[in-house]
A and B are shown apart, each in its own frame.
Chain A
Amino acid sequence: MDNYSGSGTATDQTLPTKKLHLKHVAKSFGGRKVVDIEDLTLGCCGIEGLIGPNGAGKTTLMSIITHGLKSDSGEVFYYPNNCEVEISNMRLDEIARLGIVKTNQIIQDFASLTIRDSLLLSLSTPKYERFYKIFSEGALRKEAEEEIEGYLEYFHFENPEGYALSAGEKKLLDIIRCLLLKPKFLLMDEPMAGLPEDQMRKVMDLMMKKTSEEDLSILIVEHDLDVIWEVCESVHFMAEGKVLFQGSPAEIRDHKTVVEKYLGSSHV
Chain B
Amino acid sequence: MSFLTNVLVIALTEQAPLILAAVGFTLIFYLNGFINVAYAENITLGAYFAVVFNTIMGLNFYLTIIPAALLSGLVSVITFLLVFRPALKRGVGKAEMIVLSVGLSFFMRYATKLAFGAQLRLFDIAKPSYWMVFGTGVTSYQITALALVVAIAVGLYLFIYKTNYGEIMRALANDENLALVSGINPTKVSVLIWFIAGVAGGLAGVFFGVTSFVQYIMGWDLILIVIMISIVGGIGNVRGALIAGFGAGFITVAVTLLTKPLYAQVVLLLLFIGALKARGLQRVRG
Which residues of A are interface residues toward B (Cβ below 8 A)?
A: 67-70, 91-92
Contacts and interface: CB of A to CB of B under 8 A. Distances in A.
A67 B286 CA distance: 5
Nearest to B285: A70
Nearest to B284: A69
A70 B286 CA distance: 7
A118 to B, nearest CB: 20
Contacts of B284: 69
A70 B282 CA distance: 15
A221 B284 CA distance: 24
Interface of B: 284-286
Contacts of B286: 67-70, 91-92
Nearest to A90: B286
Nearest to A66: B286
9 contacts: A67-B286, A68-B286, A69-B284, A69-B286, A70-B285, A70-B286, A91-B285, A91-B286, A92-B286
Nearest to A93: B286
A205 to B, nearest CB: 32
B64 to A, nearest CB: 48
Given A91-B285, A92-B286, 7 more contacts: A67-B286, A68-B286, A69-B284, A69-B286, A70-B285, A70-B286, A91-B286
A69 B285 CA distance: 8
A92 B286 CA distance: 5
Contacts of B285: 70, 91
A89 to B, nearest CB: 11
Contacts of A92: 286
Nearest to A70: B285
B203 to A, nearest CB: 38
A103 to B, nearest CB: 16
A95 to B, nearest CB: 9
A50 B285 CA distance: 26
Q: Which 8 A-B pairs have the closest CB atoms?
A: A92-B286, A68-B286, A67-B286, A91-B286, A70-B285, A69-B286, A70-B286, A91-B285
A4 to B, nearest CB: 29
B131 to A, nearest CB: 50
Contacts of A67: 286
Contacts of A70: 285-286
A54 B285 CA distance: 26
A36 to B, nearest CB: 21
Nearest to A68: B286
A69 B286 CA distance: 6
A91 B283 CA distance: 13
A25 to B, nearest CB: 16
Nearest to A67: B286
Nearest to B286: A92
A70 B284 CA distance: 9
Nearest to A69: B286
Contacts of A91: 285-286
B127 to A, nearest CB: 58
A92 B285 CA distance: 9
B149 to A, nearest CB: 35
B182 to A, nearest CB: 20
A68 B286 CA distance: 5
A71 to B, nearest CB: 12
Nearest to A94: B286
A91 B285 CA distance: 8
A67 B284 CA distance: 11
Contacts of A68: 286
A91 B284 CA distance: 11
Nearest to A95: B286
A165 to B, nearest CB: 19
Contacts of A69: 284, 286
A68 B283 CA distance: 12
A105 to B, nearest CB: 16
A70 B285 CA distance: 8
Nearest to A63: B286
A69 B284 CA distance: 8
B93 to A, nearest CB: 12
B48 to A, nearest CB: 44
B174 to A, nearest CB: 13
A205 B265 CA distance: 64
A91 B286 CA distance: 5
